[in-house]
Amino acid sequence: MIRINLLPKELVPKKRNFLPHVAIAALAALLLLWYSGGLVATYAELSRSKDELAQLREDIAKLEDVVNQVKQLEQDKLLLSQKEQAVAQITTGRTVWSHELYVLADLVPQGMWLDHVSLSSRRRPVTVEVPNPNTQPGQPRTIQKTVIQSFPALRLTGYALSPDRERGLELVGQLINNIKQHEVFSKRFIWPEMRSIERQAFKEHTVMKFVMDCEIKQ
C-alpha cells in the first residue's frame, strides 16, 4: 500500500538537526572545564600567595627583632661613649694620686724614706703682660712686668740616713735628680726645690731631715 502525504508543503513538519545543539553543548562543556581549571589554578595560586605572605610576615617579625636589638646596641654604645667622655672630662688635667704616689715611691733612693706628703703652695716670680700706663701715641699698649704668684705644689717631708753630712746631701740630691729625669713624673711635678734640711738624731741614727716642694704643673 502506497502512502501519499496530501498536506501542503508549508505544513509538512521539518526534520530536526541536533548537530548544532550537540556542538554548542560540547563547547559549553569545554568552556566549563576551562573555567573550572582556571578557577582551581587561581585558588591554588591564592593559597600559595597566602603562604608566602604568612612567611613574609614571619620574616618581617624576625627582622624587627633584629632591628630592635641593633637599636638597643646602638643606644648602649652611645651611653657608654657618653660615660667615657664624662670620665675623660672629669679626669683631664687632674692628678691621679694613687698612681703618682706609687711612682714617687720608686723614685726614693735606698737609705731614704718619706714621712709626710701633702699639698702646699710655692711663690715665685713670673713675667706677665700688663696694660702700659704710658698712653701717649706711639707707646705699646702692654708691657711686661715681673710679679710674684702662688702655684700649687707637692710638699715632701722625709729623712735620709746621714752618718756624715755628705751622705745625707747625696741622697737628697739623688731624689731630686730622679724626679727631674723621670719621663712621666717630671711632666706633672716640676722644679723640685729644697725648702729646708738639717741633721738630727732619729732612733739612735743620725739622719738628714728634709722638706722639698715640687710645683704641680697646671
159 and 205 assigned to the same domain? yes
**DSSP for 45-66?**
HHHHHHHHHHHHHHHHHHHHHH
59 and 125 assigned to the same domain? no
Residue 66 inside a domain? The answer is yes
173 and 78 assigned to the same domain? no
Residue 210 inside a domain? The answer is yes
Tell me what the pLDDT averaged over the chain comes to: 79
The sign of the torsion formed by the CA atoms of 104, 109, 110, 116 equals: negative
40 and 124 assigned to the same domain? no
Residue 4 inside a domain? The answer is no
Residue 109 inside a domain? The answer is yes
Full domain range(s) for residue 126: 97-130+145-216
pLDDT one-digit tens code per residue, 36-74: 666 666 767 777 777 777 787 887 777 777 777 777 877
C-alpha 157/C-alpha 111 separation (Å) is: 15
Q: In which element (H, E) is residue 174 found?
A: helix 165-181
Q: Give every CB contact of residue 95 below 8 A, 6+ residues apart in sequence.
A: 188, 216
Percent of the chain at pLDDT > 70 equals: 72
Give the chain's domain count.
2
25 and 47 assigned to the same domain? yes
Asked if pLDDT for residue 16 goes beyond 70, the answer is no
211 and 105 assigned to the same domain? yes
pLDDT band at 90 (very low <50, low <70, confident <90, very high): very low
Look at residue 133 in the predicted model and tell me its pLDDT. 82
46 and 125 assigned to the same domain? no
177 and 120 assigned to the same domain? yes
At 67, give phi and psi (nearest 5°).
-60, -40
192 and 126 assigned to the same domain? yes
67 and 169 assigned to the same domain? no
pLDDT one-digit tens code per residue, 122-153: 888 888 888 888 888 888 888 888 888 888 99
Look at residue 89 in the predicted model and tell me its pLDDT. 45
109 and 203 assigned to the same domain? yes
Residue 212 inside a domain? The answer is yes
At 162, which CATH number? 3.30.980
